[in-house]
Structure 1
Amino acid sequence: MSMIKASHGANLALHRPTAQGPETFTNELSRNTPSLYLSNKAVDGNADGTLYSHCSHTIDAPIMWWLVDLEDSCQIHSVALLNRDESSYRLQNFTIDIFRKDPRLEPTFPENFGQICAHQVDPVGASQWVELDCNNGPVTGQFVRIVKRSFEALTLCQVKF
């Protein structure tokens, strides 16, 4: 497998396969529009930040996660996230970790950790971007996960690196 090095300004996550868990949030609106809140909303390139049309959203659970498969090994220097417009306080106290292999295949998933890129304690502002540099330099892997260990939903409007 070759390794791709992220170039400044490129978005390696754009339109890549994604997943989130433990489930996608549903409500009356999403039952009528099943494409709402799906994990792929965070890599569709639409930086609107409006929850109801352009963001991924999990249910509330002890461990919430969102994951993108870059489909090749990549060197990640930083990760940029766009927060939602409402209930923005929820995007706090999360970790970005990177795996060489699909962590969902491990029996300890989602409790296991990959190589830690960054941790964000403070809340990200409403409809704001935050760019987090990997703490110890670039991290190489194929799967990038954002994980939150608290009983609040994880919502991401865009993820790029």
Structure 2
Amino acid sequence: MGSQDMEPLRKCVFLVMTFLGMLRTVDGFKNVALGKPASMNAYREGNPPSAAVDGDNTTFIHLPSGPLAPISWWEVDLLRTYYIVSVSITNRGCCDTRLRNFTIDLISDHLSASPTTRLCHFYPGSIGKYVTEVIACDDLLTAQKVRVTKKGHLDFSEVSIKALPACGGLQFTLNLGIRRLDTALRQLVVDSTTMCAIHCREEIDCDAFQTLTSATNVTCQLLVGQNGNTVTDNNWKYYHLAE
């Protein structure tokens, strides 16, 4: 890759590093859902889908009166692709047994003719009145849309999504059950796969990384290049920069 080809990549890395530097002084990641376009399968007049991303915990979404659809859903379009770090849901001050047993799904970018939907997390149990639950995705995933789905009635006050922009070619592709054998650029212990990806993006020479997850932490190996000897190892997950 020539120096001219590398320039957009360096610029993107610089922007990401600058962004991360600012975020680390203000409690992690900003809420990328605030004020973004929202939709749902049906809603009651006065309780539109936008109420869940208006930054006001006194407003809420609500389905219309009458028979309910078998599955209810609410969705926000983040307008660009992000690494989703966490999804926070705040329940309204009513019906604390209603917001229960729901699924958070992530949907790929709108340019695809057949968008990919992947599971972020299934939340079992209930969220109490006025309670905010912070929910981390089960794996490092990118998405443009985030959807909340459950059987029966669906209502809540607010959704906040903390995320990191996935710019240009700096999106990672997951390869399950594969481990690279070459010497790591750097090995460290982090608290999540997302943090491993962030460390890789901060290293200009890092083109891939692999993780080994335990009950308490994640072993993170940063790798140079996207080619190397690999073996099948179901304990590891290998990520490389998308083409």
Fold agreement, TM-score > 0.5: yes
Residue aligning to 1:128: 131
What is the SS of the residue equivalent to 1:42? helix
Whole-angstrom CA distance in 2 between matches of 1:75 and 1:39: 23
Q: Which residue of 2 aligns with 1:12?
A: 32
In 2: Cα distance, 1:74 partner to 1:40 partner = 20
Runs of 5+ unmatched residues, structure 1:
26-33, 49-53, 107-111
Q: Structure 1 residue 113: deviation in Å?
A: 7.7
**Match runs of 1:108-147 below 5 Å:** 114-136=117-139, 138-147=140-149
TM alignment of 1:1-161, pairs within 5 A: 8-21=28-41, 23-25=42-44, 34=45, 36-48=46-58, 54-59=59-64, 60-102=68-110, 114-136=117-139, 138-148=140-150, 150-151=151-152, 153-161=153-161
Question: What amino acid is the match of 1:71?
Answer: L
- Does the 8 A contact of 2:80 with 2:109 survive in 1? no
Query: What is the Cα deviation at residue 9 of structure 1?
Result: 4.1
Distance change in 2, residues 1:18/1:139 (3 Å): same
Between the aligned partners of 2:101 and 2:117, the Cα distance in structure 1 is: 17
Contact 2:108–2:116 (CA under 8 A) maintained in structure 1: no
For the residue of structure 2 that corresponds to 1:41, the secondary structure is helix
Matched to 1:118, the amino acid is H
Contact 2:103-2:123 at 8 Å conserved across structures:
yes
How far apart in 2 are the matches of 1:132 and 1:113?
Answer: 21
Distance 1:19 1:72 in 2: 16
Q: State the one-letter code of the partner of 1:24.
A: Y
Residue correspondences, number: 134
Percent identity for Structure 1 against Structure 2: 29
Does the C-alpha gap of structure 1 residues 113 and 93 become closer, same or farther in structure 2, counting only changes over 3 Å? farther
Query: For 1:45 and 1:9, how far apart are their aligned partners in 2?
Result: 16
Q: Matches of 1:117 and 1:89 in 2, distance apart? A: 22
Higher relative contact order (CA 8 A, sep 6+): 1
RMSD (Å), alpha carbons? 2.3
